[in-house]
Amino acid sequence: MNRWIDRCCAGIEALIAAALALMVVLVFGNVVLRYGFNSGITVSEEVSRWLFIWMTFLGAVLALKEHGHLGVDMVVRRLPPSAKKFCLAVGHVVMLYIVWLLFQGSVAQTKINWDVVAPVTGASMAVVYLSGVVFAVLAAFLLALDLLRLVSGRIADEDLVMIQESEEAVQLKQILGEQADAAPADRPQAGARP
C-alpha cells in the first residue's frame, strides 16, 4: 500500500512540475510578446490562475502525506503517549469532518459552475472547483489511512506528533540526522589500524 501511495505522490509531483513549467512558459512568453512584439497569449492569465489553484491543492495533498503542514506542537509533545494518541485521533476525526465539508462545498460549486464558461478560454469554470473535490477525496484517504494505522497500533510513539512547529526546526532536525548518520562511517572501527 505504501509503495502504491508513493507512486501516486510521485505522479502528483510530476503533475505539479508540469503545471509550474507551463505557467512559466505562459507568463514569461506573455511578457516577452507583450513588451517585445505588442502582442500576447490571450489565455495566459486564465490558464495560469487555474494551474496555480490546482498546484496549491495537489501540493497540500503531498504535504499531508509527508506530515509537512505546520502546527503548534509544544503542548502535545509534552503529553504521555496515550494522550498523544488521543489528540491525534481527535485531530484526524476533526480533519476528516472538515475535508467532508470541503468535499460537499466543492461538489456543489462544481455543479453550479458546470455550465458557466470562462471568459477567455470558454472552458467550464467547474474545472476550478473540481480541484477541491480531488483534494478532499485524496486527503480523506490519507487521513483515514493514518487513523487506521493509529487504531491498529502501527504508529510508533515518536510519530504520534504529525505536525511541525516550524520549517527551520525541521530543517535543523534533518541536518542533525544526516550528520548523525554520517558520523559512524567516519569513525575508525575498534581494532582497526588508522
Using one digit for the tens of pLDDT, what is the confidence trace for 146-184? 889 888 877 766 666 656 666 666 666 677 777 776 655
Q: What is the mean pLDDT of residues 124-144?
A: 93
Per-residue CA distances from 65 to 22, 72, 114, 131, 191 (Å): 25, 18, 30, 17, 45
pLDDT at 103: 96
**Quick one: pLDDT band at residue 104, thresholds 50, 70, 90?**
very high
The more confident residue out of 185 and 110 is 110
Q: How many CB atoms lie within 10 A of CB 55?
A: 18
pLDDT at 182: 67
SS3 string, 137-157, reads HHHHHHHHHHHHHHHCCCCCH
Does 116 have pLDDT greater than 80? yes
pLDDT at 57: 94
Q: What is the mean pLDDT of residues 89-114?
A: 93
Cα separation, 92 vs 112, in Å, equals 30
- Please spell the DSSP secondary structure of 146-194, one letter per residue: HHHHHHTT-S-GGGS--SBS-HHHHHHHHHHHHHHHHHHHHSPPTT---
Where do the domains of the chain lie?
A: 2-181
pLDDT at 153: 78
